[in-house]
Structure 1
């Protein structure tokens, strides 16, 4: 272990690559949280479900904010790998994920709601990922120890005219605030250096990248912009997950680093589907169960593509029938992607209610596996064959 200061971002090319990876970093936590959320049986753990859902929606906001900064610098958000700090890194996660960018968050795993899952959520959102100081976190082959170090490097680069000139920023392909809904905070349309810094600061304030000194501030501290549309004020992801971990709310006079001592939050870990994640290359299910897993992967892939379409500032060509005729219309892609996430939930819940032939009494677990374009048609055909054989 070393006290070595993380390398700063010194050029525009690396800054753009960092922002591509920021979109992917935010995406990487969403399936982890969704797996726990979707594993909750109907009618149970409503407070826990609301907490996890609120964080997921803000991760969507953070993806949008990073994409808006990237667009303003003239670079289209992409699922393709990038070169950053001499490393070849892929922004699209594959699980289990050992993040090659940030070492402190450890391995991200897809698992149902459990004490271990909540512990991992707390570690992800903790300013030092559970360590007492950054130097205690092994850097390994990663670029940064903490998400905070990463976003501080991005924020610092955005302030430096030697990295990006004022003329590098343009109001280009922005996702507007009117297209985002369901969580706290607001989308910042980036047009200059100041609004770019504001967008990144919003990500930091809501969760990822909180500096360690925030642990000494009020646990339920909020910014004026960190509110739900109905005016309800939210607080950091770390504090929200810490409440689930301890089974109690923070009192208003407590610090974020304290143990919550307020009203009880009941978390029933028995009211959860016992889903077991098996990576795509380890699939041994066969039959209709395997077909369902593949169909989920393809649906998730379409969702990710729709998100990146939205982040590029483009609209989606939607075809439908009305009054007996075929109609095609360009619609904003982000609301469609959010609706796609709700449709994906139904598929995930169905999987989690299906016993795994390979590992009873476990149930199937959604894999959130992004399928490369060249493999999609073949996998679709395999799923159809498996359905026919199992029918």
Structure 2
């Protein structure tokens, strides 16, 4: 029997929520790398599936942030002290998660059977194990993502850890600012809405109860439908369909082998991108510049998301035809959404660019967050590399 380490007080609950935001963020680049590696016009069903999961991971980040804000804490990219560990919420790849042992090492890979297997492992309630006790704990605190969210949920129910008066309707991201995925943003104002927000993360994603494997794979609730009525279901079931090349029939259970209509996945219609960490940068002049520019753009996007989670606004300057500059404070979340579209274009361009250090491969986005003190230095390096390669 596994006994997850409970949260002891409000401070630990807030730290756990900071790490939950980062945990959801850690899966997004993994899935985006597979998505952006698909050659244009190919694997449309696969792309739709991966994109739908990414949008819900964004929703889960938002839900965890809303709970944290309601408890009076601001979402932050800074390291978190949690149960004697010093943990950074912003992932760096390859990532061996120090919080949850079962998900293994997260890598940035182009779409392949191995990549899809990793998606299934992440989203499986027991990360591929038959029993939770079969998952080595190692130096981590929790065996599964479900265990981690379970202790958060227990703490939210516990009036000794958080009193009713600790919840305030403060700095909430509203549902009107969430784009394109299933589910709805829960604005947290009390204990009940906080529990609902975390339960939504559990039901849709990686915290899925193992018992759900014995229930219908295509179980649908109101929160599992797109706004146009399109049916969604758990991330695990969606990725199992890609892995097996078959849809689940409506009568099938999530733990069964899908036996419905075929899902054609063409792994040959994928850019052969090779991930090289920032400290292993050997790609070449203009190629290195492009990779660094992507890192800086990704860093700005992450900062914008965290600013949005705290109801922040960002100064945006406009220069008119009379050369007069006007600065306006804009909501950060719409700017982050625009940033995601720009980042996609940069990622696709990288994956079409041959890697000078490995001719059989193309470049791969690194999704490497740049600390504030290093940003100016990297911008200068980009400028110098661009000059050298004119």
Length-normalised TM-score, structure 1:
0.98
2:10 aligned to which of 9, 12, 27: 12
Residue 377 of structure 1 pairs with residue 384 of structure 2: no
* Structure 1 consecutive aligned stretches of length 4 or more whose deviation exceeds 4 Å: none
CA distance, structure 1, for counterparts of residue 249 and residue 292 of structure 2: 45
Counterpart of 2:330 in structure 1 is 331
Counterpart of 1:143 in structure 2 is 141
Matched ranges for 1:62-81 at <5 A? 62-81=60-79
Maintained 8 Å contact 1:286/1:386? no
CA distance, structure 1, for counterparts of residue 210 and residue 223 of structure 2: 21
Displacement of 1:230 after TM fit? 0.7
Counterpart of 1:156 in structure 2 is 154
Unaligned runs of 5+ in 1: none
Displacement of 1:309 after TM fit? 0.3
Matched ranges for 1:83-98 at <5 A? 83-98=81-96
CA distance, structure 1, for counterparts of residue 223 and residue 363 of structure 2: 39
Residues 20-54 of structure 1 deviation map (CA, whole Å, 9 limit, x = unaligned): 00000000000000000000000000000000000
2:98 aligned to which of 94, 97, 100: 100
Residues 343-373 of structure 1 deviation map (CA, whole Å, 9 limit, x = unaligned): 1000001100010000111000000000000
Displacement of 1:321 after TM fit? 3.1
Maintained 8 Å contact 2:30/2:108? yes
Displacement of 1:233 after TM fit? 2.1
**DSSP 3-state at the match of 2:173:** coil
Residues 199-255 of structure 1 deviation map (CA, whole Å, 9 limit, x = unaligned): 000101111200100000100002112211111121000000000000010000000
1:165 aligned to which of 163, 166, 186: 163
Q: Which moved more, 1:331-340 or 1:144-153?
A: 331-340
**DSSP 3-state at the match of 1:317:** strand
Unaligned runs of 5+ in 2: none
Displacement of 1:168 after TM fit? 0.7
CA distance, structure 2, for counterparts of residue 82 and residue 276 of structure 1: 31
**DSSP 3-state at the match of 1:361:** strand
Q: How many residues align?
A: 389
**DSSP 3-state at the match of 1:244:** helix
Length-normalised TM-score, structure 2:
0.98
2:130 aligned to which of 132, 138, 149: 132
1:61 aligned to which of 53, 59, 62: 59
Matched ranges for 1:268-279 at <5 A? 268-279=266-277
**DSSP 3-state at the match of 2:222:** coil
**DSSP 3-state at the match of 1:172:** coil
Matched ranges for 1:174-185 at <5 A? 174-185=172-183
CA distance, structure 2, for counterparts of residue 55 and residue 97 of structure 1: 20
Displacement of 1:338 after TM fit? 1.4
Residues 154-203 of structure 1 deviation map (CA, whole Å, 9 limit, x = unaligned): 00000001111111110111101111011000000001100000000010
Counterpart of 1:23 in structure 2 is 21
CA RMSD of aligned residues (A): 0.9
Maintained 8 Å contact 2:62/2:185? yes
CA distance, structure 2, for counterparts of residue 234 and residue 332 of structure 1: 29
